[in-house]
Amino acid sequence: MSNSQTASIAASAAPAPVIAIDGPTASGKGTVAQAVANALRWQVLDSGALYRLTALAATRAAIGDDDLNGLAQAARNLDVRFENGAIWLDGGRVEETIRQEAVGNRASRIAALPAVREALLDRQRAFRCAPGLVADGRDMGTIVFPDAPLKIFLVAGAEARARRRAKQLSDKGISANLEDILRDMRERDARDTHRSVAPLVAAQDAITLDSSDWTAEETTRAILQLWSEIVA
């Protein structure tokens, strides 16, 4: 076999590239990940949705927070389908329901359980396919895709994030108190950051971007610029 044949087989066997975008709640990861994926025509993985779906499935099945096996099984057996922004759980649409604060708070609690994280690992990795994947979450760059060629740690001040969350809720006609959001957000940050498994930390090779004063478009442009520098 010639060297160029070997090189081309090695190239085709290389895993699809991943842009990992990790960061705290309401840092704008979801919007930016989708925009980057659209620009590159790549797949997108909203890993937080999988934790939210597990929380919702567990609540519907009346599985309590202390039933570790039941929660891991709920994660492993999720019957879920993603399609153009729509999400189905057990055949019913849930993309609005999983965004509720109560679902997010339960997701944050059960995400601290190693058995639940383990149960969702292969499912997350299965999203990786050509031409590439933009994955957003807390541990995309550290645990799920440690070989991602570009890792972004997206941060924003708590007040800026609380204002964004309040606006998202009021756009949906849900009244929200800024102080309550800020308090919930700080609690969730503390839980996500201080848990013993897969805590929210920047990977050693991640680039930290502070989006407090940036629009989603500006953040998207910054990430696309970093990616084009890597490709070049």
Binding site for ligand DC (CB under 6 A): 25, 47-48, 51-52, 104, 107-108, 111, 137-139, 188, 192
Q: Are 76 and 121 in contact (CB under 8 A)?
A: no
CB of 229 to ligand DC, least distance (A): 26
Is 40 or 110 the residue whose CB approaches ligand DC more closely? 110
Sign for the CA dihedral angle at 81, 54, 160, 181 comes to: positive
CB of 33 to ligand DC, least distance (A): 10
Is 87 or 223 the residue whose CB approaches ligand DC more closely? 87
Distance of CA 63 to the CA centre of its chain: 24
Is 51 or 227 the residue whose CB approaches ligand DC more closely? 51
CB of 231 to ligand DC, least distance (A): 25
Is 102 or 130 the residue whose CB approaches ligand DC more closely? 102
CB of 137 to ligand DC, least distance (A): 3
Is 49 or 222 the residue whose CB approaches ligand DC more closely? 49
CA distance 30 to 148: 18
Is 7 or 190 the residue whose CB approaches ligand DC more closely? 190
3-state helix, strand, coil in the chain (%, to 5): 55, 15, 30
CB of 168 to ligand DC, least distance (A): 12
Report the half-sphere exposure of 171 (CA within 13 A, side-chain side): 7
CA distance 163 to 158: 9
CB of 170 to ligand DC, least distance (A): 18
**Burial category of 7 from C-beta neighbours within 10 Å (exposed 0-12, middle 13-18, buried 19 and up):** exposed
Strand extents, DSSP E, 57-129: 80-83, 86-89, 92-93
Instruction: Show the tokens assigned to 24.
Output: 């705290």
